[in-house]
Chain A
Amino acid sequence: MKHAIVGTGIAGTLAAESIRRVDPNASITLIGDEPYPPYCRPMISMLLEGSIPPERMAIRGANDFRSLNIDLLTGERVSLIHPKEKNLETAKGKIISFDRLLIATGADPVESKADGSHLRNIFTMRNRRHVEAMLEVMPEVRSSLIIGGGLVGLKAAHALNRRGISVTMVEKLDHPLPLVTDRKCGYAVARSLEAMGIALRMSATVAAFEGNGRVREALLYDGSRISCDLVVLAAGSTPAVPSIKEGRIRMGRGILVDDFLETDEKGIYAAGDVAEAMDVISGQKKVNAIWPVAAEQGVVSGMNMVGRNVPYQGAIGRNVVRIGDLDMLSGGLINPPPEGSYEILENEDLRRKTYRKLLFEEDVLKGLVMLNRIEKAGVLLSLMKRRMPITVSKERLLDPGFDFCQLLPGMQPSATA
């Protein structure tokens, strides 16, 4: 059986390894357009900060793929997939045939529509090459501007701040991390960023970049100007769907996959940031572009490609950020739609600097936001994932000391024992 995997991110890498674990004889080709062997994409901000050398980013040893007999092709962009002929073409003209294909091409950064986006020193930050390009111009950079207060923007701001470069962050909404946290937590994150010396411009949008060849200034819609000699565009990402010839493959935002991560085309699977798979919280298909989901889908898709029928249990969006002395963690539904009937419990402890918000639909936990004391969040996320009804008083879950043994029926001593 010939397996081709497009994309050398965590989904592709784990899929290749899963296939090998089950089938020692399968032919496996792992194809990536980046020139490096698989590396940890979330760690690019550490490369920007200069806190790790590039070689620390590799997620596998130099000989791991060879010893597993996985054919690793780097620097090869797949230009076209032929589902009928069961082969794919690379930009360099190579034709690779397959019996099973995994599309794990990840996501591309959203480009800026503002005037002057073509100027030099305006970068997106999605992969290692983007960061290396930033590092090349770093000696001439004194002040930087981050467009977007999401996770990537936050990590870029933190990294540049640690390099001693002045940082201004512009965000459309009124607090950072608008998609992964609530207002209260967002404000706490904002205070933490400001304490580090990062200037925030919330509820603001950039209209244009100006400069002579190289960016010098950004013009905001409110008429104010921010001078900068480096811009990081961190305004989100969009699934990097490859070209597929006369496919019957249905698309949503990403490539739609069934409960086994298979597309409408038999034998072709998708996983990671490019896939639109079942989401546990909404009960609908959704792109959850986060590393842990890509990892899970990589393993599951690999198992299915090799013939094990492993249903995907569904994704839960979840994120954790550590900035300064602040730990922020969230998962599931964070800012519920007004029409839903949700029960929301909140607890803030100013002395311990903790905050927790839990969102329930009837007896099932559907979302959480927490500041500090995050170490046991996995217990709550696991309850969410298994849609487990909470049989004890829900307030207990607000306590950072909450232990899952309180939910074990056998644990409660009865007077008749």
Chain B
Amino acid sequence: MKQVVIHPERCVGCMQCMVACATAHSKTKSLPGALGESPLPKPRIHLGTGLYREGFPNRCRHCDPAPCMMVCLPGAIYREEVGNTVLINGEKCINCATCAMACPFGVIRYHEDSLGPPGKAIAVKCDNCIDRRARGQVPACVEVCKCGALTFEEPSSSFKRKTDEMARRVSAGAEERAEVASPGFVLMNVLKRAQVELSGREA
């Protein structure tokens, strides 16, 4: 089954995935419309910052077994089996933050949600764009990503690509060809690191 795969080495930290995610989970589904909504739609994908200000798109892994689902007090977190997506029932959620203690990736947020019950703060996280998927679209963060840091594919094919890349790099003769998987991104991240190190303090 196709899933969103993250390739952090290609992330430039532009945060377009966050904007697209917030828009996709708004009432109006358009950026100008979403900006006028109350509550303001919020993203379910979060851009983390690495040691040298590299970007890292962080979203729910829909773990199996899911630690958040196991500890949820009112049983509001459940798995939608078809798309293998961990979902939160906003009506049942009591906003107790027990799932905040369970999620090892820190991807759950607590606020009123545009698509949730009005006037009630609830736990909100990635839903794999279940509505868009039903309409035959790919998840919004993938659609908008310009750098290939987020792809929607079979995890096995993504693993195979990574393995092949690694194999080529360590094979005989690799040094002469000096092959780097994504030279532009490597250059950018090296520059970011140099900037931080030259400034004499950590990011």
Contacts and interface: CB of A to CB of B under 8 A. Distances in A.
B44 interface: no
B54 interface: yes
A330 B49 CA distance: 24
Contacts of B98: 291-292, 320
B31 interface: no
Given A292-B71, A375-B110, A379-B104, A327 B54 contact: no
A382 interface: yes
Interface stretch (B19-27, B143-151, B186-194): B186-194
A407 to B, nearest CB: 9
B74 A406 contact: no
B181 to A, nearest CB: 9
Interface stretch (A22-30, A39-47, A223-231): A39-47
Nearest to A319: B101
A320 B73 CA distance: 12
A414 B180 CA distance: 12
Interface string A373-416: 01111110110000000001100100001011110000111110
Interface string B83-111: 00000000010111111111111101110
Interface in A289-337: 291-292, 295-296, 299, 318, 320, 322, 327, 329, 331
A43 B96 CA distance: 10
B51 interface: yes
Contacts of B101: 292, 318, 320, 329, 331, 377-378, 381
A96 interface: no
Given A375-B110, A411-B8, A329 B58 contact: no
Interface string A39-64: 01011001000001000110110000
Nearest to B68: A378
Contacts of B194: 415
A412 B96 contact: no
B48 interface: yes
B202 interface: yes
A340 B157 CA distance: 50
A413 B104 contact: no
B70 interface: yes
B75 interface: yes
A40 B73 contact: yes
A379 B68 CA distance: 12
B100 A403 contact: no
A381 B96 CA distance: 17
A412 B50 contact: yes
B71 A295 contact: yes
B52 interface: yes
A411 B97 contact: no
Nearest to B102: A378
Nearest to B121: A322
A77 B203 CA distance: 60
A325 B171 CA distance: 58
Interface in A52-92: 52, 56-57, 59-60
B51 A411 contact: yes
B97 A329 contact: yes
A14 interface: yes
Nearest to A318: B101
Contacts of A14: 70
B108 A375 contact: yes
A350 interface: no
Given A404-B106, A405-B8, A43 B74 contact: yes
Contacts of B75: 40, 59-60
A42 B96 contact: yes
B30 to A, nearest CB: 28
Contacts of A320: 96-98, 100-101
B97 A413 contact: no
* Residue with the greatest number of chain B CB neighbours at <10 A, chosen from A375, A411, A413: A413
B56 A403 contact: yes
B56 A411 contact: yes
Nearest to A296: B70
B100 A374 contact: yes
Nearest to B181: A417
Interface in B118-170: none
Contacts of A56: 74, 92
Given A43-B94, A393-B202, A413 B54 contact: yes
A101 to B, nearest CB: 23
Contact of A378 (B8, B96, B100, B190): B100
Contacts of A405: 8, 48-50, 54, 56, 58
Nearest to B75: A59
A412 B100 contact: no
Contacts of A327: 97
B58 A403 contact: yes
Contacts of A296: 70-71
Given A374-B97, A413-B193, 14 more contacts: A60-B75, A292-B70, A292-B71, A292-B101, A295-B70, A375-B100, A377-B100, A377-B101, A379-B106, A403-B56, A404-B104, A411-B9, A413-B186, A413-B189
6 nearest CB pairs, A to B: A403-B48, A376-B106, A382-B104, A413-B189, A405-B56, A378-B103
21 contacts: A42-B96, A43-B73, A291-B73, A292-B70, A292-B102, A295-B70, A299-B65, A320-B98, A374-B97, A375-B106, A375-B109, A376-B100, A378-B102, A378-B103, A378-B104, A381-B102, A392-B51, A403-B49, A405-B58, A413-B54, A413-B190
Interface of B: 8-9, 48-52, 54, 56, 58, 65, 67, 70-71, 73-75, 92, 94-106, 108-110, 180, 186, 189-190, 192-194, 202
